[in-house]
Structure 1
Amino acid sequence: MCRNIKTLFNFEPPATQDEVRASALQFVRKLSGFTHPSQKNEAAFYYAVNEVTAAAQRLLDSLETNAPPRDRDIEAEKARERGRKRYARETA
């Protein structure tokens, strides 16, 4: 999975439309192998981004959980700590 695609479900505040679109864009980039599509492929590329964005938003809107929402700041700090540990091992 692309490292830039983040979990968007069950956060407080909820994921924004921009975050959902950014994840869709990363997904389509990964599938297509394009960072920026050529003019010839641009329409198909952005059509796919729009379709994946819509599907992802429908998914997020339909999911349910009994777990309390996670705090974005706490989860970001946990991710930074995991990164520090991972990169400390690689350089040691």
Structure 2
Amino acid sequence: MLHNFEPPVSDDEIEAAALQYVRKVSGTTRPSAANEEAFGEAVRAVTAATRTLLDSLVTKAPPRDREAEAAKAKARAAERYGPRTITSG
């Protein structure tokens, strides 16, 4: 989620989300040389579309606090997956 945060989402965060989306849709994390240009163009297009969307959205809700939202996400992950334990091999 990128909408309605204080401070507002950065261009780097939007581009990272666009990259994640293009990777998901294409089914690859690194395109072949033959597909690199198309992959990069898709990331740029999704980045631009996302920025346009975020700049156009309006809400009456107060902005969300990034740290509070991160803590909620961490708690949801712990509930879903259990506490993380690190084992040495």
> 1:71 matched to which residue of 2?
65
Question: TM-score normalised to the size of structure 1?
Answer: 0.87
> Quick one: higher RCO (CA 8 Å, sep 6+), 1 or 2?
2
Aligned with 1:29 (options 17, 23, 26): 23
CA deviation vs aligned residue, 1:33-82 (integer Å, no higher than 9, x gap): 11000000000000000000000000000000000000000000011111
Question: TM-score normalised to the size of structure 2?
Answer: 0.90
Aligned with 1:8 (options 2, 7, 15): 2
Instruction: Decide which structure has greater helix share.
Output: 1
Runs of 4 or more off by more than 3 Å in structure 1? Answer: none
> 2:35 matched to which residue of 1?
41
Number of equivalences: 83
d(CA) in 1 for partners of 2:31 and 2:39? 7
Are 1:85 and 2:79 counterparts? Answer: yes
d(CA) in 2 for partners of 1:33 and 1:41? 12
List runs of 5+ in structure 2 lacking aligned partners. 84-89
**What amino acid maps onto 1:47 in structure 2?**
E
The alignment partner of 1:49 has SS state of helix
C-alpha RMSD over aligned residues: 1.1
Q: Which has the larger radius of gyration?
A: 2
How far residue 85 of structure 1 moved from its aligned partner, in angstroms, is 1.1
The alignment partner of 2:52 has SS state of helix
What percentage of residue pairs aligned between the two structures are identical? 59
List runs of 5+ in structure 1 lacking aligned partners. 1-6
